[in-house]
Amino acid sequence: MGITFTKVGHKYHGARRKDITIALDDINLNIDDKDEFLFVIGRTGSGKSTLISHMNGLLIPTEGSIKIFDYELTPKKRKNPKLKPIRKRIGFVFQFPEYQLFEETVYKDICFAPNNFGATKEEIKENVKNVCKLLRINETILKKSPFNLSGGQMRKVAIAGVLAYNPDILILDEPTRGLDPITANEIMEIFNKINKEMHKTIIVISHDMNLV
Ligand SMILES: Nc1ncnc2c1ncn2[C@@H]1O[C@H](COP(=O)(O)OP(=O)(O)O)[C@@H](O)[C@H]1O
Ligand SMILES: [Mg+2]
């Protein structure tokens, strides 16, 4: 089993003691670590981002418990969670991930996370090649600055940086937001392929019911 939530709640505390937002309340779910394709839908402010931020330990529950592979996260672990092993297995793509590109070349940006997780230079080179093929990123852009790309290409490069460390579960917060319909469809087709052919579990937040 990949991710299990048991009676999970999350309260945000504001500046004043009485400012409390209950963003999650009594959430129970089971997500397998392969072959699932799930959408999280709901209006703005309904708690989608809060929910998925618990799936890689970015947020720790204030109530209940979460199991991610063999690792348990409970309110007690809020102070010192050891997250590196789960972060590598759960690929997390934020909203507008292109805002987090920062290296001088596309290649370096795609390599950043795999480098961090201790992959060797050869492994990384091979992975980048495979991921570029999968995402249809032309290898000629690898030497370019990520800031000279189109919006759709930047988005793909940001997603490539997560796929390149080969996580088991891929979680994406509004991955097609702000893209033209053709690029949006292309990206969704790629997730479909990753799910069908590589058996990865994919979790997508979307407000676009047509896309869902
Ligand atoms: N860092 C935060 N501090 C306080 N309240 C927050 C914070 N992040 C989100 N919230 C509140 O929690 C609720 C759920 O937000 P969010 O998970 O971002 O929803 P969604 O992604 O569905 O738009 C909203 O009421 C939001 O205002
Ligand atoms: Mg959100």
Return the CATH number at 186.
3.40.50.300
Q: Is residue 198 a part of any domain in this protein?
A: yes
Which ligand number lies closest to the CA of residue 43? 1
Q: Is residue 85 a part of any domain in this protein?
A: no
Gap from CA of 173 to ligand 2 centroid (Å): 7
Q: Give yes or no: residues 20 and 113 share one domain.
A: no
3-state class of 114 per DSSP? helix
Predicted local distance difference test score (pLDDT) of residue 62: 96
Q: Give yes or no: residues 26 and 117 share one domain.
A: no
Residues 153 and 180: beta-carbon distance below 8 Å: no
Q: What share of the chain is helix, strand, coil (3-state, %, to 5)?
A: 40, 25, 35
Domain with 60 in it: 3-35+46-77
Predicted local distance difference test score (pLDDT) of residue 212: 87
Which ligand number lies closest to the CA of residue 41? 1
Nearest by Cα to 40 from 160, 162, 175, 152: 175
Nearest by Cα to 69 from 163, 3, 146: 3
The tens digit of pLDDT for each residue in 154-189 reads: 999 999 999 999 999 999 999 999 999 999 999 999
Q: Rounded to whole angstroms, how far apart are CA atoms 77 and 95?
A: 26
Q: Give yes or no: residues 64 and 105 share one domain.
A: no
Q: Rounded to whole angstroms, how far apart are CA atoms 7 and 91?
A: 24
Q: Give yes or no: residues 194 and 96 share one domain.
A: yes
Q: Give yes or no: residues 140 and 178 share one domain.
A: yes
Residues of the chain with pLDDT under 70: none
Q: Is residue 211 a part of any domain in this protein?
A: no
* Assigned token pair, 62: 């204030």
Residues 91 and 173: beta-carbon distance below 8 Å: no
* Assigned token pair, 189: 């087709």
Residue 82 CB burial class (10 angstroms; 0-12, 13-18, ≥19) = exposed
Nearest by Cα to 26 from 51, 52, 53: 51
Q: Give yes or no: residues 138 and 168 share one domain.
A: yes
Predicted local distance difference test score (pLDDT) of residue 12: 96
Q: Give yes or no: residues 121 and 64 share one domain.
A: no
For residue 28, give Cα distances in angstroms to 5, 24, 59, 64, 103: 5, 11, 16, 9, 39
Q: Rounded to whole angstroms, how far apart are CA atoms 35 and 18?
A: 43
Sheet holding 37-40, edge to edge: 37-40, 201-205, 169-173, 90-93
| Count: domains in the chain | 2
Index of the ligand 1 atom closest to the CA of residue 173:
21
Q: Give yes or no: residues 173 and 96 share one domain.
A: yes
CA 48, distance to chain mean position in Å, is 13
Q: Give yes or no: residues 108 and 200 share one domain.
A: yes
Ligand 1 site residues (CB inside 6 A) read 12, 21, 23, 42, 44-50
Predicted local distance difference test score (pLDDT) of residue 11: 96
Which of 55, 77, 99 is the last residue before a domain boundary? Answer: 77
Nearest CA to ligand 1 atom 3: 12
| β pairing state of 20-31 and 3-13 | antiparallel
Q: Give yes or no: residues 53 and 108 share one domain.
A: no
